[in-house]
Chains A and B, each alone.
Chain A
Amino acid sequence: MEEKIIIAGFGGQGVLSLGQFIAYSAIEEGREVTWLPSYGPEMRGGTSNCSVVVSDLQVASPIISSPDFLIAMNKPSLYKFQMKVRPGGCIIVNASLIPDKVERTDVRVLYINAQDLAIEAGNSRTANIVILGVYIKQSGLFDKEKVLHVIEKKFASKPKVIPANIKAFELGYAI
């Protein structure tokens, strides 16, 4: 088993932390994982992306040529990466920011109004956690309870935001 995910969007959308939540969850599952961010000018407000590889064996290449999953949080990211997704793979589109439709027919596409769901969860900054819920459901590699545990652990220093993040995750997971 090896699953490759590319997550991309604007800096500040929680793209890197979304990838880290997947990576932490993989560790909880006892799997091997690599999380490789784009670094440099991106961290100062431009576009940002990270590659996550989850595997049963030690990950060889952390660089992904054709991902199983693309999570596109903004429009430029969708156009940058959509053609790379392997046939039969899955694209999760943040429809709150991306009005366009994916042109490919050989991949599954999920259009998620992440921003609306985040507001419904009670915190507009949880759009990335909504998407995390969507991904975890689609991937099928993860035990939901373990992911919730990771969320609680990572927000342990800010306990106030935990309920909204849990709700955001559940809303995504329910799709």
Chain B
Amino acid sequence: MRELMKGNEAIAEAAVRGGCRAFFGYPITPQNEIPEYMSWRMPEVGGCFVQAESEVSAINMVYGAAASGARVMTSSSSPGISLKQEGISYICGAELPCVIVNMVRGGPGLGGIQPAQSDYFQTVKGGGHGDYKMLVYGPATVQEAVDIMYDAFDKADKYRIPVMLLGDGMLGQIMEAVEIPKMKDSASFPKKEWATDGTGVGEKRRVINSLYIEPDVLEAINHKLFDVYSELEKHEVRFEEYLTDDAQTIIVAYGTVARIAKSAVNLLRAQGIKAGLLRPITLFPFPTLAIEKLAKKKNVKDFLATELSMGQMVEDVRLSVNGKKPVRFFGRTGGNVMLPEDIVNAVLEGK
């Protein structure tokens, strides 16, 4: 049944249905509905909820729970996610599965509380120390966020990596009709033989660790991690193309901005301008090949990347286009959100 739900609450319920049974978080706007929802929902399904003393502590509670085999998540917004970076690096180093939600707000510093996409670099380029990646999604609608969240724990378990859902403030606050799939059966979840659930002893003792003092051992671990990331690049890339077949201008946008861009494409088409939209759904792995393919097409004349930032994802668009066509950028920041007409004008300026 379709229900009208706020993004944050729908995401929380989808996590529960996807098997999440532990939540650790700390209040920060604009994601508070997620911990608020989990605080009553977790006990209801036999899970646990702790409001931690800090985001630092919350992510380390996630570490402890994930290491002991739980389906666990945390959520926060930009300044809080910065604090979690240490923990995320350790989680990646120790190959622990978990899910992290970032409802991005403007920065740097305390910034603002309005929507932004200025955490793209921090998220896909590794905000913490060391060579690591996460599986990162940038959903555009509440339904898409729900569907991604519902399967996020399966993906995290499959690859033993953190999955991040990168929303902007709008995605958390917006209400839309959604259908949340039914509760997953925990009996179907893969057994975690590696988990330190306390039963290990002697030969069967398990150690969760990210310390490798021997250079050759650490290097081997680095390669092992990157083997996983190349698996992601092979199997997990997701994107949507809208009216790109005959398009001369390709707009690239993700998240809520992609919806505004879609309206802009419609407005441009109404004026007889052949615009199309490429919307990355996974931000890592990035749809590099899809963009490269478009860049090679004769009818494609140029690209416009549009974001709620000073220009972050545009760098990955440029790497993908690799000089074949001009790539321009249009962004709004500070919590300001562009209108469809603003994107139309940005496209027209390039004509």
Contact = CB atoms under 8 A, between A and B. Distances in A.
A32 B21 CA distance: 32
A52 B267 CA distance: 20
Contact of B259 (A20, A27, A39, A62): A62
Given A33-B176, A35-B174, A61 B29 contact: no
A37 interface: yes
Max count, chain A CB within 10 A of own CB: residue among B175, B176, B259, B339: B175
Contacts of A24: 4
B2 interface: yes
A58 B141 contact: yes
A60 B30 contact: no
Given A36-B170, A40-B114, A61 B340 contact: yes
B161 interface: no
Max count, chain A CB within 10 A of own CB: residue among B173, B339, B341: B173
A65 interface: yes
Contact of B176 (A34, A37, A40, A63): A34
Max count, chain B CB within 10 A of own CB: residue among A23, A37, A65: A65
A40 B337 contact: no
Given A33-B176, A34-B175, A37-B173, A60 B259 contact: yes
A62 B340 contact: no
B139 interface: no
Nearest to A41: B113
B4 A59 contact: no
A120 B37 CA distance: 38
B280 to A, nearest CB: 17
Interface in A23-75: 23-24, 27, 32-37, 39-40, 58-63, 65
Contact of A33 (B4, B113, B169): B4
A63 B4 CA distance: 18
Contact of B339 (A20, A32, A36, A63): A63
A62 B29 CA distance: 20
A55 to B, nearest CB: 11
Interface in A4-26: 20, 23-24
Nearest to B141: A58
Contacts of B262: 60-61
A60 B173 contact: no
Contacts of A36: 170, 173-175
B260 interface: yes
B263 interface: yes
B256 interface: yes
B177 A60 contact: no
Contacts of A37: 173
* Chain B contact residues: helix, strand, loop or mixed: mixed
A23 B256 contact: no
A23 B142 CA distance: 15
Contacts of A33: 4, 175-177
A36 B114 CA distance: 12
Interface in B222-251: none
A59 B337 CA distance: 17
Interface in A97-134: none
Contacts of A27: 2-4, 177
A74 B180 CA distance: 37
B4 A20 contact: yes
A40 B30 contact: yes
Contacts of A59: 176, 259
Contacts of B175: 20, 23, 33-36
A39 B113 contact: yes
28 contacts: A23-B4, A24-B4, A27-B2, A27-B4, A32-B176, A33-B4, A33-B175, A33-B176, A35-B174, A35-B176, A36-B170, A36-B175, A39-B29, A39-B113, A39-B114, A39-B173, A40-B29, A40-B30, A40-B114, A58-B141, A59-B259, A60-B262, A60-B340, A61-B263, A61-B340, A62-B256, A63-B337, A63-B339
Interface of B: 2-4, 29-30, 113-114, 141, 169-170, 173-177, 256, 259-260, 262-263, 266, 337-341
Q: Which 5 A-B pairs give the minimum distances between C-beta atoms?
A: A61-B263, A35-B175, A65-B339, A60-B262, A60-B263
